[in-house]
Structure 1
Amino acid sequence: MANKIVPKDELVNYIGTKVEPTGWYEVTQERINEFAHCTGDNYFMHVDVEKAKKTDLGGTIAHGLLTLSLTPYLMHNFPVPENMPHGLNYGYDKVRFLAPVRTGKRVRMHGVVQDVHWKDEHNCKFKVGVTVEIEGEEKPALYAEWILYYETVD
């Protein structure tokens, strides 16, 4: 799937609209190890399979920040304004890590457009409440309010 391209004047009409779920993405031990290497977060619950098996969780889990960092990869269902040369990650509000993502589980993201605020005719902040769910589990891994900055040209 690809982002839905909409006329910039119509982007505000998407406030309250549900963003369709993405496809599933498997969180592998290899991905977790790569993230640990990049961030220096080598806590045993993420990278030591044998030691993590002895815990209540029964194995390794993804870093919460790895789950959060997957949101750009999973954003392909968001509406974006036409004639947008680029968008930027402005930040996240109300980030909550609600359940661990066990190694080998699959996650996907969906959300609701919360706000579209045009600073001027070419620049806006786009806010979407996103949920990253874990396949087969009732409790989601993550909830956050994600703010993107869109710039358009005529």
Structure 2
Amino acid sequence: MSLSQVLLLAHVGLAYRPTVVLDHLGIRVTRTWLRDTWGAWCSDRKTIVVASNLSPVQERCVLAHEVEHVLADDVTCGWGPLAVRLERAADREAARKLIAISDLAEVAQWAPDVHAAAEELQVTERMLQVRLHDLKGEGWPWPQGGSKTAG
């Protein structure tokens, strides 16, 4: 089965399982105590290291982010502007897979705020914020800092 077929089977939104993609690619996931990050892609070892104290939602988001590093052939993130660009790209692509627009639109009809929406969408609030920003930063449907049209 090709990678594109696996990605199609992995679905998007609530049904997205980054572990399906990782299994197909032969990428090992190791859990251990990490001091200052939730996860890292070690390209030379074909391993993703994930903090052992994460909730299932946090781990799902971390794995989705790290899958994007794998798919982009990111060797190392390093420091500086390139690192920021790589991290933002991985977040954006992970958020697109984790949060389908149809799921977001459904939850937006009743969720009172970002916290409730993130919980229902099974993502971290940060990942939901990344997705909302990707949809042009309007903060839709929850206002953040005032209206773009009214100031």
Q: Same fold (TM over 0.5)?
A: no
TM-score relative to the length of structure 2: 0.24
Structure with more of its chain in strand, by fraction: 1
Structure with more of its chain in helix, by fraction: 2
Higher Rg: 1
